[in-house]
Structure 1
Amino acid sequence: MMKKQYDIDCNIAQTLNLIGDKWTLLILHAVKVGFKTYKELQENLPGIPTNLLSNRLKTLCEDDLLDCELYSKHPPRYQYNLTDKSNDLDDIYNALIIWGDHHLQKSFKCLNHKDCDGNVRIVYVCEKCGKELSKDELLVHTH
Protein backbone atom coordinates (compact mmCIF):
# COMPACT_ATOMS: atom_id res chain seq x y z
CA MET A 1 0.00 0.00 0.00
CA MET A 2 1.10 3.55 -0.73
CA LYS A 3 2.66 5.47 2.12
CA LYS A 4 0.12 7.47 4.04
CA GLN A 5 0.65 11.15 3.20
CA TYR A 6 -2.30 12.53 5.12
CA ASP A 7 -3.33 11.43 8.60
CA ILE A 8 -6.59 13.38 8.56
CA ASP A 9 -10.08 11.94 9.12
CA CYS A 10 -11.39 13.30 5.84
CA ASN A 11 -12.62 11.57 2.68
CA ILE A 12 -10.66 14.02 0.51
CA ALA A 13 -7.40 13.38 2.37
CA GLN A 14 -7.86 9.61 2.43
CA THR A 15 -8.79 9.54 -1.27
CA LEU A 16 -5.66 11.55 -2.04
CA ASN A 17 -3.69 8.92 -0.09
CA LEU A 18 -4.81 6.47 -2.81
CA ILE A 19 -4.87 8.54 -6.01
CA GLY A 20 -3.12 11.81 -5.17
CA ASP A 21 0.47 10.95 -6.11
CA LYS A 22 1.96 12.48 -9.24
CA TRP A 23 1.06 10.42 -12.33
CA THR A 24 -1.44 8.13 -10.55
CA LEU A 25 -4.66 9.52 -12.08
CA LEU A 26 -2.96 9.79 -15.47
CA ILE A 27 -1.90 6.12 -15.30
CA LEU A 28 -5.41 5.01 -14.32
CA HIS A 29 -6.94 7.13 -17.08
CA ALA A 30 -4.49 5.72 -19.64
CA VAL A 31 -5.53 2.18 -18.67
CA LYS A 32 -9.17 3.25 -18.95
CA VAL A 33 -8.70 4.47 -22.53
CA GLY A 34 -6.99 1.23 -23.56
CA PHE A 35 -3.27 1.34 -22.77
CA LYS A 36 -2.93 -1.92 -20.83
CA THR A 37 0.75 -2.90 -20.82
CA TYR A 38 3.81 -1.30 -19.24
CA LYS A 39 5.20 -0.52 -22.71
CA GLU A 40 1.93 1.07 -23.91
CA LEU A 41 1.69 3.14 -20.74
CA GLN A 42 5.29 4.30 -21.01
CA GLU A 43 4.81 5.28 -24.67
CA ASN A 44 1.57 7.16 -23.98
CA LEU A 45 2.66 9.00 -20.84
CA PRO A 46 5.59 11.03 -22.14
CA GLY A 47 7.99 12.09 -19.42
CA ILE A 48 7.09 9.46 -16.84
CA PRO A 49 10.24 7.96 -15.31
CA THR A 50 10.41 4.17 -15.77
CA ASN A 51 11.01 3.43 -12.08
CA LEU A 52 8.09 5.66 -11.08
CA LEU A 53 5.74 3.92 -13.55
CA SER A 54 6.84 0.55 -12.23
CA ASN A 55 6.34 1.60 -8.60
CA ARG A 56 2.94 3.21 -9.28
CA LEU A 57 1.67 0.12 -11.11
CA LYS A 58 2.73 -2.08 -8.20
CA THR A 59 1.05 0.21 -5.66
CA LEU A 60 -2.12 0.53 -7.74
CA CYS A 61 -2.40 -3.26 -7.85
CA GLU A 62 -1.80 -3.51 -4.08
CA ASP A 63 -4.48 -0.86 -3.46
CA ASP A 64 -7.00 -2.75 -5.65
CA LEU A 65 -7.16 0.03 -8.22
CA LEU A 66 -5.67 -2.16 -10.97
CA ASP A 67 -5.83 -5.89 -11.71
CA CYS A 68 -2.45 -7.23 -12.71
CA GLU A 69 -2.61 -10.13 -15.19
CA LEU A 70 0.49 -12.07 -16.26
CA TYR A 71 0.39 -12.60 -20.03
CA SER A 72 4.00 -13.72 -20.64
CA LYS A 73 6.14 -15.75 -18.24
CA HIS A 74 9.56 -15.32 -19.89
CA PRO A 75 10.23 -12.48 -19.47
CA PRO A 76 7.37 -11.70 -17.09
CA ARG A 77 4.96 -9.25 -18.72
CA TYR A 78 1.73 -7.96 -17.27
CA GLN A 79 -1.48 -6.46 -18.56
CA TYR A 80 -3.33 -4.01 -16.33
CA ASN A 81 -7.10 -3.64 -16.07
CA LEU A 82 -9.30 -1.35 -14.02
CA THR A 83 -11.09 -2.70 -10.97
CA ASP A 84 -14.61 -1.70 -9.92
CA LYS A 85 -12.98 0.77 -7.53
CA SER A 86 -11.02 2.54 -10.30
CA ASN A 87 -13.92 2.37 -12.76
CA ASP A 88 -15.75 4.66 -10.33
CA LEU A 89 -13.27 7.49 -11.07
CA ASP A 90 -15.13 8.63 -14.21
CA ASP A 91 -16.88 11.42 -12.32
CA ILE A 92 -13.49 12.68 -11.08
CA TYR A 93 -12.07 12.74 -14.62
CA ASN A 94 -15.15 14.54 -15.93
CA ALA A 95 -15.06 17.12 -13.13
CA LEU A 96 -11.38 17.80 -13.86
CA ILE A 97 -12.10 18.20 -17.60
CA ILE A 98 -14.94 20.66 -16.88
CA TRP A 99 -12.88 22.58 -14.32
CA GLY A 100 -9.92 22.76 -16.72
CA ASP A 101 -12.10 23.93 -19.60
CA HIS A 102 -13.35 26.80 -17.41
CA HIS A 103 -10.11 27.77 -15.68
CA LEU A 104 -7.00 26.78 -17.66
CA GLN A 105 -5.37 29.41 -19.82
CA LYS A 106 -5.43 26.87 -22.66
CA SER A 107 -8.09 24.14 -22.51
CA PHE A 108 -7.25 20.87 -24.26
CA LYS A 109 -10.58 19.11 -23.78
CA CYS A 110 -14.19 19.86 -23.00
CA LEU A 111 -17.10 17.64 -22.08
CA ASN A 112 -20.05 17.72 -24.48
CA HIS A 113 -23.34 15.86 -24.92
CA LYS A 114 -22.75 13.29 -27.63
CA ASP A 115 -26.22 13.80 -29.22
CA CYS A 116 -26.35 17.61 -29.55
CA ASP A 117 -22.76 18.71 -28.74
CA GLY A 118 -23.96 20.97 -25.91
CA ASN A 119 -21.71 21.71 -22.93
CA VAL A 120 -22.16 19.47 -19.90
CA ARG A 121 -22.25 20.38 -16.21
CA ILE A 122 -22.15 18.22 -13.10
CA VAL A 123 -25.55 17.72 -11.45
CA TYR A 124 -26.23 16.47 -7.93
CA VAL A 125 -29.32 14.30 -7.46
CA CYS A 126 -30.70 13.08 -4.12
CA GLU A 127 -30.72 9.27 -4.13
CA LYS A 128 -33.67 9.24 -1.70
CA CYS A 129 -36.16 11.64 -3.37
CA GLY A 130 -34.69 12.06 -6.86
CA LYS A 131 -34.60 15.88 -6.65
CA GLU A 132 -31.87 17.73 -8.57
CA LEU A 133 -29.90 19.83 -6.07
CA SER A 134 -27.88 23.01 -6.20
CA LYS A 135 -24.53 23.22 -4.37
CA ASP A 136 -26.10 25.26 -1.55
CA GLU A 137 -28.54 22.41 -0.81
CA LEU A 138 -25.72 19.97 -0.06
CA LEU A 139 -24.73 19.01 3.47
CA VAL A 140 -21.54 17.10 4.31
CA HIS A 141 -22.22 14.70 7.19
CA THR A 142 -19.56 13.29 9.50
CA HIS A 143 -20.04 9.60 10.29
Structure 2
Amino acid sequence: MGDQQFKHAVEITLKVIGGKWKPVILCHLTEGVKRFGELKRDMPDITQKMLTQQLRELEQDGIIDRKVYTQVPPKVEYSLTDYGSTIKEVLNVMSRWGVKHQRRSGSAATDGR
Protein backbone atom coordinates (compact mmCIF):
# COMPACT_ATOMS: atom_id res chain seq x y z
CA MET A 1 0.00 0.00 0.00
CA GLY A 2 2.97 2.35 0.31
CA ASP A 3 3.81 2.34 -3.39
CA GLN A 4 3.69 5.41 -5.63
CA GLN A 5 0.43 4.41 -7.31
CA PHE A 6 -1.29 4.19 -3.91
CA LYS A 7 0.04 7.60 -2.86
CA HIS A 8 -0.93 9.16 -6.18
CA ALA A 9 -4.46 7.73 -5.97
CA VAL A 10 -4.92 9.11 -2.44
CA GLU A 11 -3.69 12.49 -3.66
CA ILE A 12 -6.20 12.46 -6.52
CA THR A 13 -9.02 11.58 -4.12
CA LEU A 14 -8.08 14.41 -1.78
CA LYS A 15 -7.97 16.89 -4.66
CA VAL A 16 -11.60 16.03 -5.43
CA ILE A 17 -13.13 15.61 -1.95
CA GLY A 18 -10.50 16.99 0.41
CA GLY A 19 -10.76 19.99 2.64
CA LYS A 20 -12.95 21.02 5.52
CA TRP A 21 -16.27 21.34 3.71
CA LYS A 22 -16.52 18.99 0.74
CA PRO A 23 -16.93 15.80 2.79
CA VAL A 24 -19.57 17.52 4.93
CA ILE A 25 -21.45 18.72 1.84
CA LEU A 26 -21.31 15.22 0.39
CA CYS A 27 -22.62 13.71 3.63
CA HIS A 28 -25.64 16.01 3.46
CA LEU A 29 -26.24 15.15 -0.19
CA THR A 30 -26.22 11.42 0.57
CA GLU A 31 -29.57 12.12 2.25
CA GLY A 32 -31.02 13.27 -1.07
CA VAL A 33 -31.65 16.42 -3.07
CA LYS A 34 -30.93 19.67 -1.21
CA ARG A 35 -31.46 23.30 -2.04
CA PHE A 36 -28.68 25.80 -1.43
CA GLY A 37 -30.49 27.29 1.56
CA GLU A 38 -30.94 23.86 3.14
CA LEU A 39 -27.24 23.13 2.82
CA LYS A 40 -26.39 26.52 4.31
CA ARG A 41 -28.76 25.92 7.25
CA ASP A 42 -27.28 22.46 7.82
CA MET A 43 -23.76 23.95 7.89
CA PRO A 44 -24.08 27.28 9.72
CA ASP A 45 -20.31 27.76 10.02
CA ILE A 46 -19.67 27.79 6.25
CA THR A 47 -19.84 31.11 4.45
CA GLN A 48 -22.12 31.52 1.46
CA LYS A 49 -19.07 32.22 -0.73
CA MET A 50 -17.28 29.06 0.42
CA LEU A 51 -20.38 26.90 -0.03
CA THR A 52 -20.85 28.25 -3.55
CA GLN A 53 -17.18 27.62 -4.39
CA GLN A 54 -17.19 24.07 -3.01
CA LEU A 55 -20.42 23.19 -4.82
CA ARG A 56 -19.00 24.51 -8.10
CA GLU A 57 -15.84 22.44 -7.71
CA LEU A 58 -17.82 19.29 -6.92
CA GLU A 59 -20.02 19.96 -9.95
CA GLN A 60 -16.98 20.46 -12.21
CA ASP A 61 -15.59 17.13 -11.02
CA GLY A 62 -18.87 15.38 -11.87
CA ILE A 63 -19.63 14.49 -8.24
CA ILE A 64 -22.79 16.54 -7.89
CA ASP A 65 -25.51 17.75 -10.23
CA ARG A 66 -26.91 21.28 -10.13
CA LYS A 67 -30.43 21.68 -11.42
CA VAL A 68 -31.76 25.19 -12.01
CA TYR A 69 -35.51 25.81 -12.22
CA THR A 70 -36.56 28.87 -14.21
CA GLN A 71 -39.02 30.41 -11.84
CA VAL A 72 -39.31 33.43 -9.57
CA PRO A 73 -37.63 33.30 -7.17
CA PRO A 74 -35.00 31.06 -8.78
CA LYS A 75 -34.74 27.56 -7.42
CA VAL A 76 -31.53 25.51 -7.53
CA GLU A 77 -31.20 21.94 -6.31
CA TYR A 78 -28.08 19.88 -5.73
CA SER A 79 -27.79 16.10 -5.74
CA LEU A 80 -25.16 13.44 -6.11
CA THR A 81 -24.60 12.17 -9.63
CA ASP A 82 -24.54 8.41 -10.17
CA TYR A 83 -20.76 8.69 -10.14
CA GLY A 84 -20.89 10.88 -7.03
CA SER A 85 -22.94 8.24 -5.23
CA THR A 86 -19.88 6.00 -5.31
CA ILE A 87 -18.28 8.32 -2.72
CA LYS A 88 -20.70 7.02 -0.05
CA GLU A 89 -18.39 4.04 0.46
CA VAL A 90 -15.47 6.38 1.24
CA LEU A 91 -17.62 8.51 3.56
CA ASN A 92 -18.74 5.40 5.44
CA VAL A 93 -15.12 4.38 6.01
CA MET A 94 -14.28 7.92 7.16
CA SER A 95 -17.23 7.86 9.55
CA ARG A 96 -16.23 4.54 11.10
CA TRP A 97 -12.66 5.75 11.53
CA GLY A 98 -13.90 9.01 13.09
CA VAL A 99 -15.97 7.10 15.66
CA LYS A 100 -12.97 4.94 16.56
CA HIS A 101 -10.73 7.97 16.83
CA GLN A 102 -13.24 9.83 18.98
CA ARG A 103 -13.52 6.88 21.37
CA ARG A 104 -9.75 6.54 21.52
CA SER A 105 -9.07 10.24 22.06
CA GLY A 106 -12.09 11.19 24.14
CA SER A 107 -15.07 13.02 22.72
CA ALA A 108 -14.28 16.48 24.11
CA ALA A 109 -10.85 16.54 22.50
CA THR A 110 -12.06 15.80 18.97
CA ASP A 111 -15.51 17.27 18.55
CA GLY A 112 -14.25 20.79 17.88
CA ARG A 113 -15.71 22.31 21.05
Q: Which runs of 5+ in 1 are unaligned?
A: 1-8, 108-143
Contact 2:40/2:51 (<8 A) preserved: yes
Counterpart in 1 of 2:107? 106
Give the whole-Å Cα distance in 2 for the aligned partners of 1:17 and 1:49: 21
TM-score scaled by structure 1?
A: 0.63
Query: 1:75 Cα deviation (Å)?
Result: 4.0
Contact 1:65/1:82 (<8 A) preserved: yes
- The structure that is helix-richer by fraction is 2
Give the whole-Å Cα distance in 2 for the aligned partners of 1:17 and 1:102: 25
Query: Aligned residues: percent identity?
Result: 30
State the SS of the aligned residue for 2:68.
strand
TM-score scaled by structure 2?
A: 0.78
Q: Which runs of 5+ in 2 are unaligned?
A: 1-6, 109-113
Deviations 1:72-129 (A, max 9, x none): 444433101101221011221211121122111229xxxxxxxxxxxxxxxxxxxxxx
Q: Structure 1 stretches (4+) deviating beyond 4 angstroms?
A: none
Q: Greater Rg, structure 1 or structure 2?
A: 1
Give the whole-Å Cα distance in 2 for the aligned partners of 1:30 and 1:88: 14
